[in-house]
Amino acid sequence: MSGNPDIDKLYTYNEAKGIGPQLSLLQQLRKRRYDVVVDFMYNPRSALFTYLSGAEKRVAFPSRRRWFYTHIVEQPKHPVYIAIEKQRLLAELGVDSDISQLYLPWTSEDTGVWQSFVKEHNLLDRRPIVCLSPTHRRPIRQWPGDCYARLADYLVRAKEAHVVWVWGPGENEFVSDIRDHCETKTHMAPKTSFAELAAFFANSDLFIGNSNGPSHVAVATNTPSIQLHGPTIGVTWCPDNQRHRFIQGESMVDITSQQVENAVEALWPEVLNNLGERKSIGVRMDWRPNQSKRQIGEIHHD
């Protein structure tokens, strides 16, 4: 991703512009003469690019395209958290990586949207901020909207939380309709970029949502989170540790409001710890881990 200090070069192309940009990308890859290519996707296109890069060592998991690679790494026999699974590819290279915590880079500039939002809506008291994300591009992977509305009311009434609905491009109307079914006061998040969303979550206290993009951003910012899974396998997408939990149903409609409320109760001590730390250090202005251990910013009423 752009802005990641661990990435020296980021290649992109616009698929909508046809084969030209892809051929140009291939020329760039071959020109750089990479020694090793690790293909985390191992789909037909990534396999082809990996093979045509000319790299001497090409690493991936087993697939029907295994002949594109020089080294095949066997996957775990049982589902595991995806970050742990990907680490097996790095182990093939002798890289002993620490996957205990993911990091998604963002900077102080990305906190501007959050700071303006909390000042505008008077969210600067000692009440926890809970972000809800009811969307997914596949309806079958969405917990029902009326369940989210009831959850929001529970969080406001039972937990005295500030509830904020997050949304992405094309999702505003859908989320607003769910919010309209609430009996309590909740808030619509402002429009954010990807990095601004990360800063938003990093300065909040709990995320609850479907297995979608925002849920992974919450994990990467180490914001306490609860993911809801039906067709998706929760253990694959959630670290399932002290700060991150998942609820697994045979389908999304099988997940009950009581299950989610019970999960909130179980995680709530961690939410309050997060709130206490957030209030003691001020605004978290940077993605780096050591930023959570010192005073890094303040925000006050005008």
Do 122 and 203 lie in one domain? The reply is yes
Residue 22 sits in the same domain as residue 129 = no
Whether residue 301 is contained in a domain is answered as no
Domain count, the chain: 2
Contact 161, 182 (CB under 8 A): no
**83 and 117 in one domain?**
no
Q: What is the pLDDT of residues 90-149, one digit of tens each?
A: 888 888 766 667 888 899 999 999 999 999 999 989 999 999 999 999 999 999 999 999
Same domain, 74 and 35: yes
Does the predicted model carry a pTM greater than 0.85?
yes
pLDDT at 189: 97
Q: Starting from the edge strand earliest in sequence, which strands make up the sheet with 129-133, in order? A: 187-188, 162-165, 129-133, 206-210, 225-229, 244-248
Alpha carbon 267 to chain centroid distance?
A: 18
Closest CA to 213 of 141, 274, 148, 287: 141
Based on the fold, state whether residues 127 and 255 are members of the same structural domain: yes
Residue 285 domain-assigned?
Answer: yes
In single-letter form, the type of residue at position 138 comes to R
Note whether 48 and 188 are same-domain residues: no
CATH of the domain at 125: 3.40.50.2000
CA of residue 271 relative to chain centroid, distance: 18
Question: Please, are residues 207 and 128 in contact by the beta-carbon 8 Å criterion?
Answer: no
For the stretch 256-293, pLDDT in tens is: 999 999 999 999 999 999 999 999 888 998 887 654 43
Of the candidates 48, 65, 91, which is a domain's last residue? 91
Note whether 191 and 239 are same-domain residues: yes
Q: Which of 65, 91, 117 is the last residue of a domain?
A: 91
Chain segment 176-227, per-residue pLDDT in tens: 999 999 999 999 999 999 999 999 999 999 999 999 999 999 999 999 999 9
- Shared domain for 188 and 263, answered yes or no, is yes
- Burial status of residue 54 (CB atoms within 10 A of its CB: 0-12, 13-18, 19 or more): middle
Helix, strand, coil percentages, rounded to 5, for the chain: 45, 10, 45
Residue 299 lies in a domain: no
